[in-house]
Structure 1
């Protein structure tokens, strides 16, 4: 291999870190920290994610860290999406919350068993990242491939159940 082609080919790890850095270049607090310590923002994100993943693998704050990844980050990004004039990010985050809600309903009872399987929490965190990461658009894929059809087929039943529940609540609200 010539020296020109060696210089043109980037180390894949460095390329990933550079791509991650581009994804977070508008995050002012992260850029400020990166500038102060003299490293690219992608390195801070990768190091933080790696540290969190190691903690999760070893069972240190697994539930808490999984909640941060699956709830707090998406909630903040949803806030940011609402504040932008574009609609594409709104759709991504609304879809994320639909998929997350379905997963969460089933994860509750199943996690009592699944948490004892090795790598349950790391896989769960990686799946959350897959769902919300803009380049994978995993939530849109899961929604369009599985949930959309189910919801469309059962929409009338779900609406009927919601209406009956509202009526029950309204009728029993002032009886006691």
Structure 2
């Protein structure tokens, strides 16, 4: 349990915090003329990390029982950014970019459809919320009106003996 905790901390530090800081340094070191190759590398890294993070949500359920699974993920993120391996460039150029390029039209079409569905769902939910709000407001107005009529027909202190 403690090893797993330490591995997760190291993955956060070495997979996210250090690369984020180094990316920041790359941007800010030469703010007017950033190193384009270094920026390209960090963009490749973050794209790969995003895909790996999404994939691990499913993979963790199926693979987390394997011995040293957490350590293997840690080794992968270090491999991706380490200056001696520059793994992000290799993995991106050799695997991810060709895969995305081959499926780009399908992905774009899916995203357009998803946006359209989201817009339709948002509009219908907004209409339902407005209708519910009107119904609630109408009910509140009816109850307040009813209460006011009761108060007018039975004024306070009426019918009390003095």
Normalising by structure 2, what TM-score?
0.66
Report what 1:164 is aligned to. 113
Across the aligned residues of Structure 1 and Structure 2, the Cα RMSD in angstroms comes to: 2.0
Query: After superposition, where does 1:71-82 map in structure 2 within 5 Å?
Result: 71-82=16-27
Equivalent of 2:93, from 116, 141, 144? 144
Q: CA deviation at 1:142?
A: 0.6
Match of 1:173 in 2: 122
Say yes or no: does 1:102 pair with 2:47: no
Between structure 1 and structure 2, the one with the greater Rg is: 2
Aligned partner (choices 73, 77, 80) of residue 124 of structure 1: 73
Match of 2:148 in 1: none
User: What are structure 1's unaligned runs of at least 5 residues?
Assistant: 1-54
CA distance in 1, matches of 2:25, 2:11: 21
State the TM-score, normalizing by the size of structure 1: 0.61
Aligned pair 1:87/2:36, yes or no? yes
Runs of 4+, deviation exceeding 3 Å:
none
Shift of 1:174: 3.1
The total of aligned residue pairs comes to: 121
Q: Which runs of 5+ in 2 are unaligned?
A: 127-162
